[in-house]
Chain A
Amino acid sequence: AQSVTQLGSHVSVSEGALVLLRCNYSSSVPPYLFWYVQYPNQGLQLLLKYTSAATLVKGINGFEAEFKKSETSFHLTKPSAHMSDAAEYFCAVPGYSTLTFGKGTMLLVSP
């Protein structure tokens, strides 16, 4: 079954700096890939979704992710971090019957 690996359980950036959160998928090319975000004391919500229509996917709040088959990656980026981006981010891929989530990366943003 498909799985995803998120490198780094915590990533720290300064406000205004580039955000890069890493996600690699296993084995075969997945038809879908997701990034979800969880703000403090809330449930997860969809940030963006890859559906093979385009390799560069734009999401909410200025985030985007690029699907790279050669690197089996789907990294999440944002050019300039904002304090409100502090949250936990989950990469996910369709598994056997449901979504399989990565272990999450906590993004810390300092002033």
Chain B
Amino acid sequence: DAGVIQSPRHEVTEMGQEVTLRCKPISGHNSLFWYRQTMMRGLELLIYFNNNVPIDDSGMPEDRFSAKMPNASFSTLKIQPSEPRDSAVYFCASTRDSPATDTQYFGPGTRLTVL
């Protein structure tokens, strides 16, 4: 079975541009997470969905960030407009059932660079 799939793997954009990151969770998994990882702040949970519904978005930095999960097999994280401080590695992860106690399966990440 394929793992969590993320695209693109690398993204370089200029400040002010819109960026869309994509994630396909493992089939049959009910919870999906978006994380951001930087040297300064470490691993941060941005938002998580359960059965396609956003449950906790308290980690979303500001209104420039938005996330959607239109169906069980696809999610997007959008940044508009992007800023240099958004440069980070963004990870998507999924779990089969419980978001707190089941194993989280991480994708390979998208490395975002905003110039």
B interface residues, tally (CB under 8 Å): 20
**6 closest Cβ pairs, A-B complex:** A43-B106, A94-B100, A44-B106, A98-B99, A46-B103, A32-B101
A interface residues, tally (CB under 8 Å): 20
| A98 in contact with B106 (CB, 8 Å) | no
Chain A CB within 8 A of B12 CB: no
Residue of chain A at shortest CB distance from B41: A103
Chain B CB within 8 A of A90 CB: yes
B1-27 to A contact mask, C-beta < 8 Å, 1/0: 000100000000000000000000000
| B42 in contact with A99 (CB, 8 Å) | no
Shortest CB–CB separation between residue B35 and chain A, in angstroms? 9
Report A-chain residues with C-beta under 8 Å of the C-beta of B93.
43-44
| A101 in contact with B33 (CB, 8 Å) | no
Report A-chain residues with C-beta under 8 Å of the C-beta of B45.
98
Residues on A facing B (Cβ under 8 Å): 31-32, 34, 36, 41-46, 49, 90, 94-95, 97-99, 101, 103-104
| B42 in contact with A98 (CB, 8 Å) | no
Given contacts A90-B43, A98-B45, A104-B42, contact A44 B104 (CB under 8 A): yes
Given contacts A43-B109, A49-B103, contact A97 B55 (CB under 8 A): yes
